[in-house]
A and B are shown apart, each in its own frame.
Chain A
Amino acid sequence: MIATAKMRLVVIGNGMAGIRTIEELLKMSSDTFDITVFGSEPQPNYNRILLSPVLSGEMSFKDTILNDWSWYEQNHITLHTGKTVTKIDRLRCVVETEDGIVVPYDRLLIATGSNPIMLPVPGINLPGVVGYRSIADVENMLGMAGEGIRAVVIGGGLLGLEAANGLSLRGMDVSVVHLCEWPMERQLDKVGGGLLQGALEKRGLKFYLSRQTEAILGETSVTGLRFKDGEEIPADLIVMSAGIRPNIALAKSAGIHCERGIVVSDTMQTYDPKIYSVGECVQHRGQTYGLVAPLFEQAKVAANHLARYGAMRYEGSSVSTKLKVTGIDLFSAGDFNPGKGDEELLLQDSARGVYKKLVLRDNKLRGAVMYGDTVDGPWYFQMMRDGTDITEMREHILFGQAHLGDSGHGGTSSVANMPDTAEICGCNGVCKGTIVNAIVEKKLFTLGEVRAHTKASASCGSCTGLVEAILANTLGGDYSAKPSKQAICGCTDASHQDVSQAIRKDGLKTIPDVMQALQWKTPDGCHVCRPALNYYLLAAWPGEYADDSRSRFINERVHANIQKDGTYSVIPRIWGGVTSPAELRAIAEIAERYEVPTVHITGGQRIGLYGITKENLPKMWGELVEAGFVSGHAYGKSLRTVKTCVGSEWCRFGTQDSTGLGIKVEQMTWGSWTPHKFKIAVSGCPRNCAEATIKDFGVVCVDSGYEIHVGGNGGIKVRVTDFLCKVATEAEVLEYCGAFMQLYREEAHYLDRTAPWIERVGLAHIKQHIVADAAGRSALYARFLESQRYSQDDPWKERAEGKEAHEYATLATIE
């Protein structure tokens, strides 16, 4: 019998990128490799991005350890710390350390990171000159810290300012020397840089801008430095923070192709097929990266190929930046220096200390700089990556997404100055301090992780921007934003778009087919992906796809809304909000017969019966059906209600028969499944009593016809509709309504309301398909009507007649 030997993986570099790759690899296959790790630092893997809080005294080194010694042991990883690999012998496939350890490899991962750039000036080797890269550097600086000590930081970039702030908090007298006219010129424009400089000066930092260092002065240790213009300033400590350079010496000496960094392909492979590389030492498509988000994306790809899945590519990252200085809110992303043909949108409020600049090209966001109020940073960043056409929101985009009466967190938009006791998540009662502690103690990097551990923003999601801002403030420049392509859930790498496209293009007809074709990692998905797949299949193959009730959330599975005590609500459809004494009497009698504890008038002009036990549902539905009712779908991601006012039939202001039109619209659209709930209203005149301008599809009647409005929302984020167009006849309203719903059904991601969908694709896109393209509109409308042929069998009637009886019956009773 032949024992299959494990392959040997050697990792050079015990930092964040290398170890993250191992973690990703172990998740996929824990027994492919015998793993050996070399690290030149004596510590286990720590969170380098938290060095600044350690320097400033806001954290201890212990808080920054990501993988302690026992982690290596538990995963059977051989760890050599304090050992520097000095040779890679690619012929014999071995690596060697300076003190003679030789380890053979089948696969090698180079993750040697970067080194601080030490300026080539006289005196650079004097004691008292330190880089800012490792915990040893920090300890070095702290060793010198004390009241009155004069520190000079060379380099006014992100890292330099964090170091300066930290040293200042330690009681030193700190100056920052910078080559450019303003600090952080790679992340900020002149105005933003000026605001930042002012804020830091108030904290006691001194700035020497547009200055070039000529020499570091001192005989036995540092005493000062001299600029090119001859001026000299005194210094006891000099911190070099003039940038980083990929650490490629080892790779280069082994003859691996390097330019500025180690050149890798989209699979993170170097020119030697046995050797991969990730992290700051890498050059990918001409780019090098110094932030953690791209490194983690690279780690995922490298692990995928090391595990021989061969399924992922790294296509580069766009990055955003936050400064990790307590009390300063700053955000930048993309290319914020307008080029030829670019436009700038500016907002400057000196009194509030707020500055925002957006750079546009072809009506799309290219870059953003924000100072003082950064809560919308992630929103701008997302639109930048989605390439959203922002034409229609141009006039209010600078005011952000969160300005319009968001419920649940008191309209706050700056997190940096909030006290730890400030409540961030109103649904789950989570305070800022709790979130910050969890990020530090549990070592969280992403929004998803913060949600899982603290529940903040995990319910209604309205505080997502604030939670992201706290994450960014805590982790600073290395905050890991959402990857550009978001997987539906942990079961898959496929995005919503990937799934809906594959279903149509490859003719996938069942949930197991989709999971197989797109390589699901779990046998039968989870509560997040299965309902999404079921919806996409239903929308793609009307009449053909058999709805999978096991992949429906309980409410849609049993056609009633589950309540906190496990009972259900029953809400019959009341067409256009118009009822009759006979209907009311029927509801009243049924409510009495079943001793319904609460009868409530809903926001959608209907009557809700609450506290119904599951066993009673089919019987009660049978009686309602008998009285002429059908399901109101108040429980579904589906057409909910069509709200109306009484219109020209009664109202002295009414211009059209809004009630009659509402009923026609509801009769056409009821029963349709949509990506999320869908609400319609028809108002009889511009007084708009039916509140049509906060509905997904709203009609406002005017004397000459009908205004059509889309994408409104009255919930967490109040969003007023966008005006789509005006039409002349009821028949056109019906056609535009069906076409719009169908476009939404075909294009939106599952669980997107119309509002975020329209904000993502842009109103121009909707107008193109629904208004400009008449043939396209009529085809969409035809597809909607075709799909409706299969969705207007009343689910209550079917269940009253015995369908899915097992859902409502107890299996056994044991006395």
Chain B
Amino acid sequence: MEKEEIVSRLTPVFRKVFADSTLVITDQLSALDVEKWDSLSHMLLIAEVENEFTIKFKLKDLNKMANVGDMIAIIESKL
């Protein structure tokens, strides 16, 4: 799967979880940039992303996700 496709499928997931219909995803985007992105919503996001791509993350993967770029790289490695 191309990176663009991953981004286009991730966007609605992010918009839904953070209830923000204008949210734009970039590689650098992180929890610091999104007000509602805290340790509670983070896990909801993880579960939604897993469903969207029918993949399973490992707990170790979570620690390596400092921003959306890292998340996309991990998703790519699982597809």
Q: Verify that A and B bind, or say they do not.
A: no
**Chain B residues at the A interface, C-beta cutoff of 8 Å:** none
